[in-house]
Amino acid sequence: GVRTEFEDRDVDTLCPFCGVGCQTTAHVKDDKIISVDGRDGPANENRLCVKGRFGYDYIDHAGRLTKPLIRRDDAPKDWQAEMRDGDYSAVFREATWEEALERATGGLRAIRDEHGPFSMAGFGSAKGSNEEAYLFQKLVRTGFGSNNVDHCTRLCHASSVAALMETVGSGAVSAPFTAIDDAECAIVIGARPAQNHPVAATYFKRAAKRGTKLIIMDPRGQNLSRYASHSLQFKAGRDVALLNAMLYTIIEEELYDRQYVQANTEGFEELQERVKDYSPEEMEKVCGIEAAVIRDVARTYATARTSIIFWGMGISQHVHGTDNSRCLITLALITGQVGRPGTGLHPLRGQNNVQGASDAGLIPMFYPDYRSVETDEVRESIESFWGKPMDPKRGLTVVETINAIHDGQVKAMYIMGENPAMSDPDQNHARQALAKLEHLVVQDIFMTETAWHADVILPASAHAEKTGTFTNTNRQVQLARQVVPPPGEARQDWWITQALAQGIGLDWSYLHPKDVFAEMAQVMPSLNNITWDRLEREDSVTYPCDAPDEPGNEIIFVNGFPTTSGRGKIVPAKLIPPDELPDNDYPMVLTTGRMLEHWHTGAMTRRATALDMLEPEAVVMVNARDILRMGVEPGDYVQVQTRRGTILLKVRQDGDVPEGMLFIPFCFAEAAANVLTNPQLDPFGKIPEFKFCAARIEPVQAV
């Protein structure tokens, strides 16, 4: 962009809203951002979507927390706000930083010392920087003494990562989404990139226009299908039936890459055996796609010179999410569609730093760089580096932590930048747990639904108020620079985490995020040849990177896989039904997700003026026939109910939603979709089944 007379400086930084990782320039006047432009980053080449361009002013929202807050002694813990940003003075009083930190750390110390390390847990954030994630998990592991640390990756790609680690030995993407430029065929399954990764979608559209065969597979329709060669709206929850039928076709018609399979994989014979029961002709009734179409898609993918697969939450957020991912990985492995330009496996990461936060060890089973907490040599080396003994058992995941609070095991929590009161499944259950905690410290920028349950709230920094590194879906480590100061007495997140660490007895003395990055680089081989100075100069470096003067390897698995055998492991999957099937009482299928204008729980985007004007109220998307059957008009209020709760919201007619399905974005606190969702977990990734539960919808009187 060009600087105008209306601004006094420009700062190069990053969009905070999604895993695409668009580079931006913020234009500033009197310490306020007045506009944002796209920069020429490797993932966006000057483009931005509506969130990146117009979503920035949430940082100036009147509801920003600007002073530390302490819960009043007489305020009941289960008090729930009727409205966001309402008056909280009856529940919290303002405090100095000194008093708030003393109260926060005093409570944490007391519970740790009385009940031991397993009574403590922490949720960090995929919205924070790599440095913040690293410090957070280090605090939990060395200060609380357990591995009870997790973040919302558990709710998005945990099952994809479980499958990728098991089969190809690395949880990250094998190629950037820009690799679609070299692909003859691309499958996009369980994802809506035009809504959720909009700038990535522009690359997909361009590739399709240039001749890439774009195959879209999802129970809901989407506008990207206009660019597709094939669009398969299969039955929700029947992914494995469809994918195994594709594998059946590829094996039966001998379209697999025999040489690649022999040289680079293991487990092919078990797969041959398993998929025998999944012929397209058998599976067409199960998944709702004609056998001829399944065969055509399988042939297109397998016989293209280069094919790449992209997937999203529609694959991962199921009790069979790991199985879904295993099938996709198997497709790539048996056809050799990986490790070359234009091929690969790309789980589209949702949060701006979900890749980096996971890499930095913000997960209960792994230290930084996915080294198991249960491997003695690994633990001993980390113990000697951090100078503290650590627990040899994996910790609790997000939903397990909520259950452990109900069971009385977990009594104190530190939550930074996460909103489990909104994001977790079966919300009433999650909120009751938060209210039950003996001590809860929340670090955030707004009075989130979670913060209402806190004992101490520490006012933190928004994306534009801090400097740090972030790793996008393409494995590009990028530098975000501070644009404006935090408001009032709000502080940088790394500073707050360090103050808490010091208060619970850790001798930390980092002076700047770059000190943290330097320490991370010592324990994370993935950051080899990536330095802070380099990022200041170059803005973005892809990991793994072989030399200080190389841009990093966009494509991995060129020569085998980082598994013990060096081979990719084929793990066949069986068709498992969704946990809660529709019945007479709850005849519809409810699925949840995001929308273009709002990000996740809406804590940021619903406070951004332009985005809130575009999508100001809670809606449920429903097929026209179901609306007609109910006898209501689009815009009328309806009631949606599941076995876990009921919400009231407006109905919107949506041709993308098939008959018998309801879609509710989970960003609306006033009609929260997660009151309804099923907390049943995938056994491997421990991810809840947000994409499928039984529901019913009924008209109500105008409200």
Q: Up-side HSE of residue 628: CA atoms within 13 Å toward CB?
A: 5
Q: Single out the residue of 198, 280, 342, 513 in contact with ligand SF4 (rule: CB under 6 A).
A: 198
Distance CA 86, CA 95 (A): 19
Is the alpha carbon torsion for 512, 518, 519, 523 positive or negative?
A: positive
Residue 103 C-beta: closest distance to ligand SF4, Å: 36
Residue 668 C-beta: closest distance to ligand SF4, Å: 19
Residue 163 C-beta: closest distance to ligand SF4, Å: 25
Which residue, 51 or 238, has its beta carbon nearer to ligand SF4?
51
Residue 483 C-beta: closest distance to ligand SF4, Å: 15
Distance CA 601, CA 175 (A): 29
Contacts to ligand SF4 from residues 158-197, by CB under 6 A: 197
Which residue, 108 or 201, has its beta carbon nearer to ligand SF4?
201
* Rg of the chain in Å (alpha carbons): 24
Contacts to ligand SF4 from residues 670-689, by CB under 6 A: none
Q: Render 622-677 in DSSP notation, one character per residue.
A: E-HHHHHHHT--TT-EEEEEETTEEEEEEEEE-TTSPTTEEEEETT-GGG-GGGT-
Contact 232, 217 (CB under 8 A): yes
Which residue, 172 or 632, has its beta carbon nearer to ligand SF4?
172
**153 phi/psi in degrees, rounded to 5:** -60, -30
Residue 227 C-beta: closest distance to ligand SF4, Å: 17
Residue 199 lies near ligand SF4 (rule: CB under 6 A): yes
Beta bridge partners of 480: 468
Q: Which H or E run contains 214?
A: strand 213-217
Contact 97, 491 (CB under 8 A): yes
Which residue, 202 or 482, has its beta carbon nearer to ligand SF4?
202
For residue 376, count other CB atoms closer than 10 A to its CB. Answer: 9
Contact 571, 167 (CB under 8 A): yes
Which residue, 18 or 319, has its beta carbon nearer to ligand SF4?
18
Task: Specify the residue for token string 């069986």.
Answer: 574
Residue 172 C-beta: closest distance to ligand SF4, Å: 18
Residue 288 C-beta: closest distance to ligand SF4, Å: 31
Distance CA 36, CA 26 (A): 5
Which residue, 49 or 334, has its beta carbon nearer to ligand SF4?
49
Distance CA 186, CA 300 (A): 10
Q: At what angle do helices 239-252 and 291-303 cross, to 10 degrees?
A: 60
- Which runs of E-coded beta strand occur in 127-212? 149-150, 185-189
Q: What value, to the nearest 5°, has the Cα angle with vertex 312 and ends 309 and 314?
A: 115
Which residue, 17 or 446, has its beta carbon nearer to ligand SF4?
17
Residue 638 lies near ligand SF4 (rule: CB under 6 A): no
**8 phi/psi in degrees, rounded to 5:** -115, -10
Distance of CA 72 to the CA centre of its chain: 34
Which residue, 172 or 398, has its beta carbon nearer to ligand SF4?
172
Residue with the closest Cβ to ligand SF4?
52
Residue 671 C-beta: closest distance to ligand SF4, Å: 24
Residue 512 C-beta: closest distance to ligand SF4, Å: 25
Which residue, 18 or 236, has its beta carbon nearer to ligand SF4?
18
Which residue, 22 or 456, has its beta carbon nearer to ligand SF4?
22
Residue 59 C-beta: closest distance to ligand SF4, Å: 15
Which residue, 53 or 115, has its beta carbon nearer to ligand SF4?
53
Residue 38 C-beta: closest distance to ligand SF4, Å: 7
Residue type present at position 360: A
Residue type present at position 274: R
Residue 159 C-beta: closest distance to ligand SF4, Å: 22
Distance CA 228, CA 396 (A): 41
Distance CA 26, CA 14 (A): 9
Residue 22 C-beta: closest distance to ligand SF4, Å: 3
Residue type present at position 35: S
Which residue, 429 or 598, has its beta carbon nearer to ligand SF4?
598
For residue 204, count other CB atoms closer than 10 A to its CB. Answer: 25
Distance CA 485, CA 287 (A): 53
Which residue, 51 or 318, has its beta carbon nearer to ligand SF4?
51
218 token code pair: 């999802």
Residue 348 lies near ligand SF4 (rule: CB under 6 A): no
Q: Render 382-446 in DSSP notation, one character per residue.
A: HHHHHTS---SS----HHHHHHHHHTTS--EEEEES--HHHHSSSHHHHHHHHHH-SEEEEEESB
**What number of chain residues touch ligand SF4 (CB under 6 A)?**
14
Which residue, 347 or 364, has its beta carbon nearer to ligand SF4?
347
Which residue, 49 or 673, has its beta carbon nearer to ligand SF4?
49
Contacts to ligand SF4 from residues 4-33, by CB under 6 A: 15, 17-18, 20-22
Contacts to ligand SF4 from residues 203-232, by CB under 6 A: none
For residue 257, count other CB atoms closer than 10 A to its CB. Answer: 17
Q: Is 549 exposed, middle or buried (0-12, 13-18, 19+ CB in 10 A)?
A: exposed
Which residue, 44 or 153, has its beta carbon nearer to ligand SF4?
44
Residue type present at position 477: V
Which residue, 43 or 571, has its beta carbon nearer to ligand SF4?
43
Residue 598 C-beta: closest distance to ligand SF4, Å: 11
- DSSP 8-state class, residue 140: I
Residue 471 C-beta: closest distance to ligand SF4, Å: 13
Distance CA 120, CA 437 (A): 10
Residue 14 C-beta: closest distance to ligand SF4, Å: 7
Q: Which H or E run contains 470?
A: strand 468-471
Contacts to ligand SF4 from residues 28-67, by CB under 6 A: 44, 48-49, 51-52
Residue 613 C-beta: closest distance to ligand SF4, Å: 17
Distance CA 456, CA 102 (A): 10
Point out which residues bind ligand SF4 (CB under 6 A). 15, 17-18, 20-22, 44, 48-49, 51-52, 197-199
